[in-house]
Amino acid sequence: MTPDRPLYRRLHSCAALLAAALLGNLATCAEQVALPAATPAPAAPPTAASTLAEPVAMIDGKPLTLRDVEDALLKKEGVEQVEELMHDQLGRVDWAKLSDDSVVVQVAGWRLTRGLLAVQLLRDGSAKVREELINIRLVENALVKEGVVIDAKAIDGEVTRMAKRLQESLKTRGQPQVDFPTFIQQTQKMSLAQFTSEPGFRMLTGLHLLVASRAHAEVEDDGLKAWFAEHIERYREPEAVDLSSLWIPYAPKDKDGKAIPAEVEHKRLMEVMVQLHGTMTAGRLTFEQVWNTFGKGYDPNGVDGHLGFVPRSGDRGELGARVVEPAAMSVAWAINPPYPQMLAPIAGATGVEILIVHGRRAAKEPVFADLKERILQDLVDAQIEPRTSRLLGDLRRASTIDYKSLPALVNQRLAETGVPAAAGK
């Protein structure tokens, strides 16, 4: 489900690259950096044989020992456990504070030091990382020069932009929706907080701030008005009804995995929803309490079940959000003031829902002057990649970059650590 790889996916910090290389190919890395020359780990003290030799079962008079069970577990699940533990620990490493002799990993009789790991990575990928770090420095310098600050608002805006692009990409590919924090955890092997602290992410955020600043100066009203006219539908506010919804889908199978006849399940779920409706109208539980207990897992968008204004189509305008069914929308639009009103359960094609109608709004035509900032932001977002590439190119042309001989320095570093240079490098 990996989407197209835009610039931010290619901008990793050195720490992330080192950790990825270590975790993804530890055995190969250790083999290539001549582990026999690494410092041997001290021998572990002998394990108390008494407990491990105890049988956990006797099969035809022969023991199955606790050690047998341990070894099987380690062979089956040990590698995965070690990778998870190592990843958690390596994510906290401040690589800049480690010396060449600092031990990064110690496994079963050998040690991998920071120096040995670093030179292996230098041999394979130093040119690409140099360019990434140069770009980061250029952006940092430009931010300081223009007085632009990467604050929490800017970070949140960048996360929102990335999440939107992810959902659009998944939708285009016909793939299941996944929330952005989960996507980052699965693809980058780090939390969203860690990801937004990465130099690459901060560089991209800074670039986009600079792009927005430049767009404010460059884009004139005529250009904005042309964009506005071309995309006016996104700015129109259709008539809509303000809804909260407790929706529960029909279950196709029972707890034993057997198919449930549709008419049986429809009747069962309606009876459940009628009981929940009665509980709320009697004041024993609030709508919010019932939604958080029974409905949140099925339709998590919104807060406490509040969907906001929903047009007649039932499309809530959020990628991945459930479309409110026609049967429910038809009933909701028939409700007149006073508001709010809680409606009786409504059966639809996919489930049953209980609505609260909070009010209505009339359709509204957009006014350019009221939306000017939003229009500019939308224009910049739609053109973000070419504008970002152009700005980065401008920063490089306006700066003095004195390239040194990277291959010579890498070979010198390899020689210092006793690791042979790869052929052709």
Q: pLDDT at residue 403 above 90?
A: no
Residue 280 CA to chain centroid, in angstroms?
A: 37
Mean pLDDT of 229-243: 94
The confidence score (pLDDT) of residue 405 equals 85
Retrieve residue 168's tokens. 């659009």
- Which of 68-82, 164-178, 282-296 is predicted least confidently? 68-82
Give the model confidence (pLDDT) of 249-278 as tens digits. 999 888 888 888 999 999 999 999 999 999
Q: What is the spatial distance between Cα 384 and Cα 141, in angstroms, rounded to a whole number?
A: 21
Structural domain boundaries of the chain? 7-194+389-417, 240-361
C-alpha to C-alpha distances, 140 to 11, 48, 150, 193, 371, nearest whole angstrom: 14, 57, 10, 20, 31
Does the domain made of 240-361 have the CATH classification 3.40.1380.10? Answer: no
The confidence score (pLDDT) of residue 9 equals 35
Give the model confidence (pLDDT) of 303-336 as tens digits. 899 999 999 999 998 877 899 999 999 999 999 9
Retrieve residue 42's tokens. 């001290």
In 166-314, where do the E strands start and end?
240-249, 306-311
Q: pLDDT at residue 70 above 70?
A: yes
Task: Give the Cβ contact number of residue 128 at 10 Å.
Answer: 12
Q: pLDDT at residue 2 above 80?
A: no
Name the average pLDDT for the chain. Answer: 82
Taking the whole predicted model, whether its pTM rises above 0.85 is answered as no
Q: pLDDT at residue 423 above 60?
A: no
Give helix 199-218 / helix 152-173 axis angle, nearest 10°. 90
Q: pLDDT at residue 26 above 90?
A: no
Q: What is the DSSP letter of 329?
A: H
Cis omega (within 30 of 0) for bond into 345: no
- The percent of residues above 90 in pLDDT, for the chain, comes to 45
Confidence label for 10 from pLDDT (cuts 50, 70 and 90): very low
Retrieve residue 162's tokens. 């990335």
Give the model confidence (pLDDT) of 198-224 as tens digits. 888 998 999 999 999 999 989 999 999
Q: What is the spatial distance between Cα 282 and Cα 268, in angstroms, rounded to a whole number?
A: 21
Residue partners of 277: CB distance under 8 A and separation at least 6: 342, 344, 345, 354
